[in-house]
Amino acid sequence: PEILVLNGPNLNLLGEREPEIYGRTTLADIEAMCADTAAEAGLGVRCIQSNHEGGLIDAVHEARHSTVGAIINAGAYTHTSLALHDALKAYDHPIIEVHLSNPHAREAVRHHSYLSPVAAAVIAGAGAKGYVHAVEILIDHLTNAKA
């Protein structure tokens, strides 16, 4: 079984982009960390990054029947995309929302998330390591051990 690791706009620039906010870990590093953590539970990962709202929605649709859960950092679409929210409503597996930074400690425009209402858990402000925690939490949800 596979989990979807979905990253939105500008996250392809991780490592170079505003490192004081987002750190120096690259997206390739993060995807490798997710793969390692998932493998410990016998799960594979499908890693997709898109700078386009429709690309993220297509990825969710394609994953509907072929993945068992999702880790999603939708970047700025977190705060704007009702369409991604609607797509995720049709995704019948646990979703963990991740942010490298803590959007609640930033500008007011980042305080609302269209993903949180459909997320089983939200991890924010833990940097790249937040993705590892997200995979662990997803595994807990999949094995029903939410402790």
Q: Return the range that interacts with ligand DQA (CB under 6 A); candidates 44-52, 54-62, 75-83, 88-96.
A: 75-83
Report DSSP letters for 45-92, one per residue: EEEEE-SSHHHHHHHHHHHTTT-S-EEEE-GGGGGT-HHHHHHHHT--
Give the range of 47-55, 60-68, 70-78, 82-90 binding ligand DQA by CB under 6 A.
70-78
75 binds ligand DQA (CB under 6 A): yes
Q: Is 12 in the site for ligand DQA (CB under 6 A)?
A: no
* Residue 10 is a binding residue for ligand DQA (CB under 6 A): yes
22 catalytic per annotation: yes
Q: Which is nearer to ligand DQA, 38 or 100 (CB)?
A: 100
Catalytic residue among 93, 99, 114, 131: 99
Q: Is 99 labeled as catalytic in the residue annotation?
A: yes
Q: Smallest Cα–Cα separation from 51: which of 43, 59, 40?
A: 59
Shortest CA distance to 92 belongs to which of 74, 113, 116, 67? 67
